[in-house]
Amino acid sequence: MSDKQGWSLRETLIITVLGAVFAVLYLGWVQVWLIAQALFGSLTMDVVMGFWFVVSIVAAAIIRKPGVAFTAEVLASLVQILLGSPAGLLLLVTGAVQGAGAEVVFAATRWRNYSLPVLMAAGVGAAIFSFAYTWIRFDYGALQPTILIAMFVLRCLSGALLGGLLGHLIVRALYKTGVLAGLAIDHDIRSVHA
């Protein structure tokens, strides 16, 4: 695997491009959430939340270095703000919390394991961190315990599936195109098949 310390210019550009692309996708996903919420009710946010974690997982699985998951999510938040997100600067806190939740899981493997179970766990990590943050921000303590449990379980499942599994599928699709040649993911895959 390549040097774990610094990021090359190419790696930095990839993280930046992913942050920008997913910022646009995240803004579009807000519309999906609003429509689903109108149709199905308030728990919808927890069902769709995992998609807002996916850039941290995609970027980390490609670059495989410390800080990538966190940075990609913060960059996506920053671009959303620049594009006029009504959430404003508070979105930076949200992105930092979600990115940190994913980053902690990668850190637990010492940035060495990017298997599907780890990517799904990173999605759950982002879900847990975001749940703690929204608990404080929206006073979840006032909610009934059964609703809280349902929200938590749905958000963790969403993180695992829309964050981790979807992130894995996106990375696999990108890898097949050849655009990730020479990056850490490419070195790791080639060393496994060597």
Tens of pLDDT, residues 26-49: 999 999 999 989 998 888 999 999
Does 47 reside within a domain? yes
pTM of the model: 0.94
Q: Residue 178, Cβ neighbours under 10 Å: how many?
A: 8
Count of domains for the chain: 1
Tell me the CATH number at 136: 1.10.1760
- Cα–Cα dist 21/9, whole Å: 18
Q: Residue 19, Cβ neighbours under 10 Å: how many?
A: 23
- Cα–Cα dist 192/188, whole Å: 6
Does 92 reside within a domain? yes
Give the domain extent around 134: 9-193
In the chain, pLDDT over 70 holds for what percent of residues?
A: 97
Read off the pLDDT band of 2 (50, 70, 90). Answer: very low
Does 1 reside within a domain? no
